[in-house]
Homo-oligomer: A and B are copies of this chain.
Amino acid sequence: MRQALHHIRVETRGHGFYEITQPVVSWARAQGIATGLLTLYCRHTSASLLIQENADPAVLRDLQAAFARLAPEGKGLYEHDSEGCDDMPAHIRAALTQTQLAIPVAHGAPALGTWQGVFLFEHRHGAHAREIVAHLIGA
């Protein structure tokens, strides 16, 4: 049984989805682990992780609009507003999605479904450097 740790840095340029499937799968495959468990962890509270369809980009636009409705932005809506009107909605959207994802590894690769992509979901308007920790255990 072996383990590997890795850091993936994503430079975001505002609210939206940033696909990280390729770097995640490449790194996992390169570890030479046939069977195991891959965990991805987002070290932030205003960005999160999501597994979603990566075929039609309209899905991602609709998802973004849905989260904008579920956790709206607006003056006077929140007590915590000192970090900008997009900060508190960002925390709520992060709470509604995932800080971490665990994906079994089979035949040397993460067992993603045919249409599944791994995304960093950036909830802030400005540019941010986001750090994701990848952990792999297996044999």
Does A108 belong to the interface (CB within 8 Å)? no
Query: Complex Cα distance A131/B133, Å?
Result: 27
Q: Mark A63-74, 1 if CB is under 8 A from B, else 0.
A: 100110011000
Contact of A135 among B1, B71, B104 (CB under 8 A): B104
Q: Chain B residues with Cβ under 8 A from A95's Cβ? A: 50, 52, 63, 66-67, 96-97
Contact assessment for B3 and A36 in the assembled complex, using a CB-CB cutoff below 8 Å: yes
Does A127 belong to the interface (CB within 8 Å)? no
Q: Chain B residues with Cβ under 8 A from A71's Cβ? A: 66
Query: Complex Cα distance A89/B135, Å?
Result: 32
Summarize A's interface: helix, strand, loop or mixed: mixed
Given A35-B3, A59-B91, A62-B78, residue A41 in contact with residue B104 (CB < 8 A): yes
Q: Chain B residues with Cβ under 8 A from A105's Cβ? A: 135
Contact assessment for B97 and A100 in the assembled complex, using a CB-CB cutoff below 8 Å: no
Stretch at the interface among A8-16, A18-26, A110-118: A110-118
